[in-house]
Structure 1
Amino acid sequence: MKKVAPATLDVRAMRTLLVLLTECNVSRAAERLGQAQPTVSLALKRLREMLGDPLLVRYGGSLVPTERGLDLKVSLEAILSEIDARLTPHPTFDPAHSDRTFRLAANNCLGSVFLPPLVRTIRRAAPGVTVEVGQTPPMEDLLRQMAEGAIDAVIGNWPQPPSHLRISTLLSTDIVCVMRPNHRLARREGRIDLADFLAEGHLSPTSDRNAQLSPIDGRLIELGLKRRIAVTVPEYAMVPYMLAQSDLLFTTGRHFAEQIAQSFAFSLVDAPEELGRMSFYMLWHDCKHHSPAHAWLRRTIRSVAADIRALDPALPDTEARSAMPLCAV
């Protein structure tokens, strides 16, 4: 009997073989499969040739599986059960009984403002869920990890988010400059003008090498301008300590500025109007879009954003289409 490579055994053939090995009767197998008896007989012939084994042999007036057939029956039951389980439509996600892990990447400036209420909300609704929050990796790594499913959602504020990701705008806030109370601009009435802003030394979490990813420097690039970043820090937690002992300016959204001003005696002055407003949004890949669990996660993130006082009511609170420039959302 000629042996053919097992790789040619597709799912349909596996289902036919399992029914044959279960019924040990071609006519009953044909009835279960909804096929004509000659069709199933021909399928059995092909399976025998394919696998190099009779599979079913005569014993008295009936058919019995060969040793190879018995082994295949056990394997096919497991394989087809796994396939059926994976192809079954997603069940409704039940956060109260879930023990899954969600992985988020978020800008550090949201650490003390957005993430605590988000974690509180998730813990109340889904106590068994684990949330892993990490720093946003370099753009190339970020896009790869999102495509591979390693990152479920990103909360960012880049001037131009990647156009092929899905996006939902979360909130928008004024931009302010934070400084020591004895800084020369601290007593300025009204906004800091752009010329004075550019004349200062700045503290930033983004270096000149990645200026296009900064909501401040990205906007300046659009204007054909550049500020002098005197010091770059890896963690937002270091910002207030740096400011308290220097004459640097730190420019950020009003959320974070007011948060650190509660613990440090800093002055907040409105940034130049040319910088506009700072928008935060959520990004996710298509590979996560249809998952009920991830849809729940995104709804939860948006609901927390809706509770933050700086939420701009003009911004949409629905899952967006494919990403587009924030000014058009």
Structure 2
Amino acid sequence: MQLPPALERAWHTHGYYGSVSHNTKAVYQRYLGWFDGNPAHPWEHPPVEAGRRYVDYMGGSAEVLKRARQSFADGDFRWVVQVVHHVLFAEPDNAGARRLQADALEQLGSGSENGTWRSFYLIGALELRQGSVGTPTSTVAPDLLAALTLEQLVDSLAIRVDGPRAWDADITVRFDLTDGEPATPRLRNGVLPHTTGTGPAATDPEVTITLDEAALRAVSAPSRPISWPAVRTSRSPAIREDCPHCSATFPPWTPTSPSSLPDPTTANMPGPPTDGCPPATGNRAPVRTWCRRAPAMRIPSHADTL
């Protein structure tokens, strides 16, 4: 895919943010989805399993790195990154692969006109050398929450649900707002959709929380003060306490290799203790959950999350 020559020569049509190749893929995916029609692509192995197979097919990591170093010397940095990627997912602690991949990413970043690509290349190189740098972004920043509509705010609670752990839960909570329409989230089948208003779709709640919109926003932002006397709760006697571990937090990461993911079972994340929380079983990846042996849904303290 190329721009017409006249546009290619114009400085203001260059890919300083995005690129022709990047953005044409985005347009395709918007209208047709991610599948490109190639039958080899619908059901590929995930990166770790694919990486192990690629490395085995190519004669082992030592042989792959030997040839990749020659490609690096030839200036084919794109191919180095593509090939060593498989080594890193097969052997995330391979120091030689990490160094070579970091060097190749640095070369791509230094030569990239596209600012977003350059940032990804260079931060990937940095993290391969020094470990994950994390992010200063907070999903509960007061200025971010203040910009959300009430509908968006209640929707945002859904991303805190650990779906597999909540598959068997069926819990309904109503936020009875004193200055607006009530919102009724229902946790069922591992998801948390909600209904606004009191129509037929708003099922009878097991917990009713009466508060104003400002208090609901404060509950969602642990750093903001809240006047707790302004919040009232009521519970159905039949409420089940079968889902005290249905929420989780997931720290951000850059997918340069499996080792760039913080180990969620040991990561130093703030929040209530996890004593007594059952570990994930079977094929479900273990996660560090924010868990207390308490009613499944309740008004959280400043250290808790729904």
Per the TM superposition, whether the score is higher than 0.5 is no
Could you say which structure has the larger radius of gyration? Answer: 1
**Bigger share in strand:** 1
TM-score (normalizing by structure 2): 0.30
